[in-house]
Amino acid sequence: MQHHITMTKDNFEAVNTKILETNLDGEAVLEVHKTEKLMVFDENTYAKLKHFSFKNGTIEVSVRSRLLPDAPDFARGFIGIAFRISEDNEQFESFYVRPTNGNHEDSIRASRASQYFAYPNYKFDYFREQGIADYEAPAAISLDEWIAIRAEILDERAVFYINGQETLGVNDLKLGEEAVGSIGLFVDIGTQGFFKDLKVTVYDEY
């Protein structure tokens, strides 16, 4: 079953974030800022869809990020999705992009334009410390442009697309095939995030 989500703040719970309804280039969109855990990466900082349960299916959304005026120099415009969010917000998985890395002249930064992680134990720094590069991928993206994200999720596997191009495949989602939970609009340090056109197709109804 496909769900077209109405992008109003009443449909979302602010989890360590602030949610605003705003107009951008003549379109009504949802704006999300991180308000808590400000200087900690890969935390439970998202607008969480209320009364929704997701295990397997597809998630599609268009995202756009700008850097806030007080963003630190290591901010990258982090923005994306969270999925299979537990009721207590203590577990979830995520796919996000780093738009400032997308067309960077530094090849290492360019190779890290997108990221999968699982909270709380498998954040990006865990993979970096272990020398594991399998959960990051390049993408030709930039700040302040609409980026189409699509996630196809089935049990322990996921394929993530950016602007229609397959970007990253994960065959071992860290929360396992039994994880079930809501969907979230994820932002991180220094991001002014905008979201529109959220569509979720659910394979299993719970």
CATH class of 2-202: mainly beta
- For the chain, the straight-line distance linking the first and the last C-alpha, in angstroms and rounded, comes to 12
- Cα dihedral across residues 157, 162, 164, 165: positive or negative: negative
pLDDT at 206 over 80: no
Q: E strands within 35-181?
A: 46-49, 57-67, 79-85, 92-97, 114-119, 136-137, 147-154, 157-162, 165-170
Q: Please write the tens of the pLDDT for every residue from 37-81.
A: 999 999 999 999 999 999 999 999 999 999 999 999 999 999 999
Contact call for residues 33 and 68 (beta carbons, < 8 A): yes
Task: List Cβ neighbours of 190 (8 Å cut-off, separation of 6 or more).
Answer: 67, 68, 70, 71, 72, 75, 76, 77, 78
- Cα dihedral across residues 1, 170, 115, 92: positive or negative: positive
Q: Please write the tens of the pLDDT for every residue from 138-185.
A: 999 999 999 999 999 999 999 999 999 999 999 999 999 999 999 999
Q: Please write the tens of the pLDDT for every residue from 11-45.
A: 999 999 999 999 999 999 999 999 999 999 999 99
What is the residue type of 34? Answer: K
Q: Please write the tens of the pLDDT for every residue from 88-115.
A: 999 999 999 999 999 999 999 999 999 9
| pTM value surpassing 0.85 | yes
